[in-house]
Each structure stands twice: as structure tokens, then as C-alpha cells.
Amino acid sequence: MQSHDTQDVNTLSVIGLGYIGLPTAAMFASTGLDTVGVDVSRRAVDAINCGKAHIEEGNLDELVERCVQTGHLRAVMKPVAADAFIIAVPTPVGKDEGHSPDVSYIQAAGLAIAAVLKRGDLIILESTSPVGTTGMLAELLAQARPDLSFPQTAGEQADVCLAYCPERIIPGQMLRELVENDRIIGGMTPRCAERAATLYKRFVRGVCHITTDRTAEMVKLTENSFRDVNIAFANELSMICDDLDIDVWKVIEFANRHPRVSILKPGAGVGGHCIAVDPWFIVSSSPERARMIRTAREVNDLKPHHVVAKVDAALTANPEATVACLGLTYKPDVDDFRESPSLEIASILSRKYAGRVVSCDPFFTALPDDEARDRAITFVETEKALQEADVIVVLVPHSAFHGFPKPQNKVVVDPVGFWV
């Protein structure tokens, strides 16, 4: 009888086909592994089965088409049996004061795959999660499938292996970074980690670093919290310089000439599904200790309101002025509006100054029409906005804006340093 240690993974199921799940599923399928993607969105499932990616990401469309044509990738709406499962579903934070992590999507995914689990299966959680979530998932599965054993009770002899392997890729370069970046693979036991590493090595050229599930969970949160703290320094510095009427861009340029100083660029805030969310997971786990991490989050959440205040001042000086907001996604050259501070700024201004605010973004079609209506956002062509608006607010420096010179005889609010 074949042992669990050498058991091959011949079929893979990826639960969640969003910005992480779909590229991951396509990469595994490209190696010849029979891969089934699972998502609750009929639109996503239908698009993938037609050989199209439902998100904008480099050459992902071509990769999906090729994998569907070879028969190695398909999508369904309910889990089916497989040898390995990768869970890549959202883990948002609540709107409560403590920004409590919401792991309900992980729990739902776990319960969904519980019915099709069998002895020898491997489960890998990729969703960014609070420390202890992999263990929580194992407990949930143990309750749902008492006929199977899991690592928390059976250790290395468990029927089902569980591991945590966080994604660490950036939109716009996902396919390249999936292959080249190192991976941190935390198993509930050493065998769990080794089995997960063997699976990822089908396409990962970076080093697969083996550790425990709780350590791997903390590594992911640490990476994004470190970045958030450093961005908060830049954003706070920019607001201080505004108060003192000093050019923050010159301050940063000169300060960075020190051999041991490397200040990041300030912006309109912090957005996306990682940096704007993950630090709260650490804060929720250790609220009394995580004082700097909490403060950094609060500073970065304050920056959009600082930008709005600057626009308010310009409109107070010219009560009839119109406004154009350039760039609403959470970062340049991606179609992702999740947690976007620029989208929030445009929403606040559009509601506050109804009929006087327009927005421009090359990826505007990725924002659902109903959400744009709810936020009172009106999109227009960039050239028209730059010609007709009195106040220009640059929020995201998309490449599509680079051909336009800085408007003359207009008020320019530029928290990203686009026309510095």
C-alpha cells in the first residue's frame, strides 16, 4: 500500500478564483496537473470555462485559455473530490472599532470541501489569516469528518495533512512572482509541510522555506505590517510638511541621500487586500502590544481625509470650481479597487460636491456600475477632465496619465508627487 509520504497529487482543487486563486490554479494547470477551480460566482466560472480570465492581469488571459484548451483547467461552483485543496478566499476585517478579522469565508470553504475529503488528502490555506487559523480550520474539519484523523490529534499519522502557505505576489507581476518568489510553507507537522512544498515545487523556482503553520501565518502578517509602518512614516511626514509649507518631495529626496535612510514615497493612503487589512490581524491578536502597528494603520487611514481637506480648501477659495480626480484603483496600472483610498476620496468629494466632480481611470470598467452609482462617481475621459476642471486631484499615477503635462492656471492637489 502506498504511504501518505510518497502519495502523488494527481488532482488539485483551488477554492476561490479571485486575484490569487485564479493565477495559482492556472500555474498548476500549466504544469499538466489536473486542476479544478471552485468559485461561488457564476460569471467567473463561466468566463474561465470559456478560456477567459475574469480579472485583468498581464498574460493571465492567455494562460487560462491554454490550460482550458489542454483540459487541465476547469471551473465549477461546488467542490469535487481531489488529492489536494488550496483555499484562497477573502479574509476581510470588520467595520467594528477593533477591526476584527472575518474568517467566515475560510470556514465556509472548509465546510464545503469536508464532504469530499478522503484519506491521504492535502489541504493548504493561502488566505491571509490571523495566527491560529490553520489550526481552527483543522478543528472545523475534524468536527465535520469524525471518520478521518487530522494533525492536531494524530500528528504525523493523520489521514489528512494541513499546511499554511501565504501568497506574496503583486498585481501586475503575479505570474512572474508566483514562479520566482520564495515561499514560506508552514505545516501542522513536518510531513504536512514537506507534502505542501513538494506540490509547490511543480512550478516555484524560489526557495520553499519549511516552518510551522503559526510561524508562517505570522510571517505574512509581519511582511505587510512592516510595509504599512514605513508607508505611515512617509504619509505622516507629508502631512507635517504640508502644515509647515515645506516641499515633502525635496525633504525625502535629500534625506534619502544619507547612506542609511530610505524613506518611501507618500501617497493618498494605503489600499488593496493586504497592507490595508493584514496589520489589524496582529492588532486583534495582541491589542496591548501592537501600539506602533495600530498607530500606523490609523495614520494611513487618516491620509485620505487630509487630501479631502486640501480639496475643500481649494473649493472654499473658489465656490464655483469643478474637480477632476485622476486614478481610483488602489495602486498604479491595476484594475483592483479593493480598499482603495483614492476611490474613497473620489466618493467623498462626489457626494459632497454633487455635479461638480468627475473621475478618470483607465480601468473604470472594472468598477461595477452599481457601485459607481452608489458612490455618485461619474467617469469621463482624462483629456476632457483636464481641460474643463478647475481643480485637478492626482490620486493614482497610472501610466495612462504620463502623456499629459501639468495643467497651467489650475489648482493641482498632488499627494502622490505625479507632477513634481
Query: Which CATH number belongs to the domain containing residue 408 in this structure?
Result: 3.40.50.720
Contact 209, 165 (CB under 8 A): no
Number of H helices and E strands in the chain, helices first, is 15, 12
Has residue 88 been placed in a domain? yes
pLDDT of residue 279: 94
Has residue 259 been placed in a domain? no
Known active-site residue 250: no
Known active-site residue 208: no
Closest by CA position to 338, among listed 242, 409, 277, 272: 272
Tell me, yes or no, whether 60 and 197 share the same domain: yes
Q: Which of 167, 188, 206 is the last residue of a domain?
A: 206
Has residue 78 been placed in a domain? yes
CA-based R_g, the chain, Å: 23
User: Looking at 67, 161, 192, 274, which residue is catalytic?
Assistant: 274
Closest by CA position to 341, among listed 349, 352, 351, 330: 330
pLDDT over 70 for what percent of the chain? 98
Which residue is associated with the grid cell 472654499? 316
Q: Give the Å distances, CA to CA, from 342 to 178, 325, 349, 416.
A: 28, 8, 11, 11
Q: Report the alpha-carbon distance of residue 338 to residue 155 in Å, rounded.
A: 39
Has residue 189 been placed in a domain? yes
Tell me, yes or no, whether 189 and 317 share the same domain: no
pTM of the model: 0.89
pLDDT, averaged across the chain: 93
The helix/strand/coil state of 413 is strand
Q: Which of 187, 206, 225 is the last residue of a domain?
A: 206
Has residue 318 been placed in a domain? yes
Q: Which of 206, 234, 259 is the last residue of a domain?
A: 206
Mean pLDDT, residues 1-5: 39
Evaluate if residue 357 carries a pLDDT over 80: yes
Contact 175, 57 (CB under 8 A): yes
* Three cell numbers written together for 409: 492656471
Residue 333 CB neighbours (<10 A): 16
What digits encode the pLDDT tens for the residues 185-214?
999 999 999 999 999 999 999 999 999 999
Has residue 236 been placed in a domain? no
Closest by CA position to 65, among listed 55, 76, 75, 73: 73
Contact 380, 352 (CB under 8 A): no
Q: Report the alpha-carbon distance of residue 122 to residue 1 in Å, rounded.
A: 18
Evaluate if residue 2 carries a pLDDT over 50: no
pLDDT of residue 272: 81
- Give the number of domains in the chain: 2
Tell me, yes or no, whether 162 and 31 share the same domain: yes
Tell me, yes or no, whether 183 and 271 share the same domain: no
Mean pLDDT, residues 339-367: 95
The per-residue b/e assignment along 269-286, b for 16 or more CB within 10 angstroms, e otherwise, is: bbbbbbbbbbbbbbbbbe
User: Looking at 220, 303, 331, 360, which residue is catalytic?
Assistant: 220
Q: Report the alpha-carbon distance of residue 308 to residue 346 in Å, rounded.
A: 9
**Residue 297 belongs to what domain range?**
267-413
Mean pLDDT, residues 104-108: 96
pLDDT of residue 57: 80
Evaluate if residue 229 carries a pLDDT over 60: yes
Tell me, yes or no, whether 278 and 177 share the same domain: no
Evaluate if residue 5 carries a pLDDT over 70: no
Residue 420 CB neighbours (<10 A): 12
Q: Report the alpha-carbon distance of residue 111 to residue 186 in Å, rounded.
A: 22
pLDDT of residue 7: 58
Has residue 226 been placed in a domain? no
pLDDT tier at 171, thresholds 50, 70, 90: confident
